[in-house]
Chains A and B, each alone.
Chain A
Amino acid sequence: EAEVAQSPRYKITEKSQAVAFWCDPISGHATLYWYRQILGQGPELLVQFQDESVVDDSQLPKDRFSAERLKGVDSTLKIQPAELGDSAMYLCASSGRTNTGELFFGEGSRLTVL
C-alpha cells in the first residue's frame, strides 16, 4: 500500500536553531498538506500545495516558517529559528485529484524544542 513518507520521525533541537522536515507524498497525488498537531489537540493546517504552487498558507507563521515543493513532488517544511512553542507533531498528508477531502497521512515528525 502506498504511503506518505516523512523524515525525521523525531527531532530534538534547542531554541533558536533551524529545523527542517521532509515529506514525500503518495505517487501521483497533486495536493500536499502540512499540518501541525499540538499535544491534546487536532491537526491544524499550516500550508497546502497544489503541485508546486501554494494554495493556502494563511496559517503559516511566515516570520519563521517556510515551505516549498519545488518540483511538485516532495516537500520541505523549515522552521528558523525554532521556539519553545513550536514543539508539536508535524504531519504531512496528500490527496489525489478527486477533491473529496480524503487525506492520506504520513507518520509525522515529532519536534521537541528545548
Chain B
Amino acid sequence: AQSVSQHNHHVILSEAASLELGCNYSYGGTVNLFWYVQYPGQHLQLLLKYFSGDPLVKGIKGFEAEFIKSKFSFNLRKPSVQWSDTAEYFCAVNARGADGLTFGKGTHLIIQP
C-alpha cells in the first residue's frame, strides 16, 4: 500500500515570500501525484496533478510542483505567496491503474499580510 509524508504541518510566511512544501511518497510502482488545496470553509480543490511527461507541472494560481522519481518526491512551490494562499495543502498519491487517493496529513499554510 502507498503512503504519503508531508514534512511541515504548519508553515507561516509573509506575503511575497517564496514557498516550498515537501511531499514524499512510498510506493514501489508507478504513481499519479496530486496537490489539493482546502481554503477556509471550502471544499478540497485540485491544485495540480502529475501523470507523466514533464516532471515540472504547473497548476492554478501560480503554483508548480516537481516530480523527482529518484527521491519519491513531489514538492509544491510558489515564488511569491499572497495572503489569499492561506489554506490547508494536501499531497496525494494514486497507484497507477487503481482507484482512489492516499493523502498526506496536510500542511496548514498561513500567510501574514
A interface vs B, CB < 8 Å? Answer: 4, 31, 33, 40-45, 48, 50, 55-56, 91, 93, 95, 99-103, 105-108
Contact in complex: B99, A95 (CB < 8 Å) = yes
CB-CB under 8 A from A42, the residues of chain B are 4, 6, 90, 92, 103-106
A8 CB to nearest chain B CB (Å): 15
B42 on interface, CB distance cutoff 8 Å: yes
B interface vs A, CB < 8 Å? Answer: 4, 6, 9, 32, 34, 36, 42-46, 49, 51, 90, 92-95, 97-106
Known: A41-B105, A41-B106, A100-B32. A105 touches B44 (CB 8 A): yes
- Interchain CA distance A105-B106 in the complex, whole Å: 16
Contact in complex: A103, B101 (CB < 8 Å) = yes
Look across to chain B and name the residue whose beta carbon is closest to the beta carbon of A55: B99
B62 CB to nearest chain A CB (Å): 21
Residue from A48, A55, A99, A106 in contact with B43 in the complex, judged by beta carbons closer than 8 Å: A106
Residue from A44, A101, A108 in contact with B99 in the complex, judged by beta carbons closer than 8 Å: A101
CB-CB under 8 A from B32, the residues of chain A are 100-102
CB-CB under 8 A from A45, the residues of chain B are 100-102
Look across to chain A and name the residue whose beta carbon is closest to the beta carbon of B4: A42
- Interchain CA distance A95-B9 in the complex, whole Å: 28
- Interchain CA distance A16-B61 in the complex, whole Å: 44
CB-CB under 8 A from B95, the residues of chain A are 101
CB-CB under 8 A from B101, the residues of chain A are 45, 101, 103
Most chain A CB within a 10 A radius of its CB, from B36, B49, B99, B104:
B99
CB-CB under 8 A from A44, the residues of chain B are 103
Residue from B4, B49, B99, B104 in contact with A50 in the complex, judged by beta carbons closer than 8 Å: B99
Contact in complex: B103, A101 (CB < 8 Å) = no
Contact in complex: B43, A105 (CB < 8 Å) = yes
- Interchain CA distance A20-B97 in the complex, whole Å: 32
CB-CB under 8 A from B106, the residues of chain A are 40-42
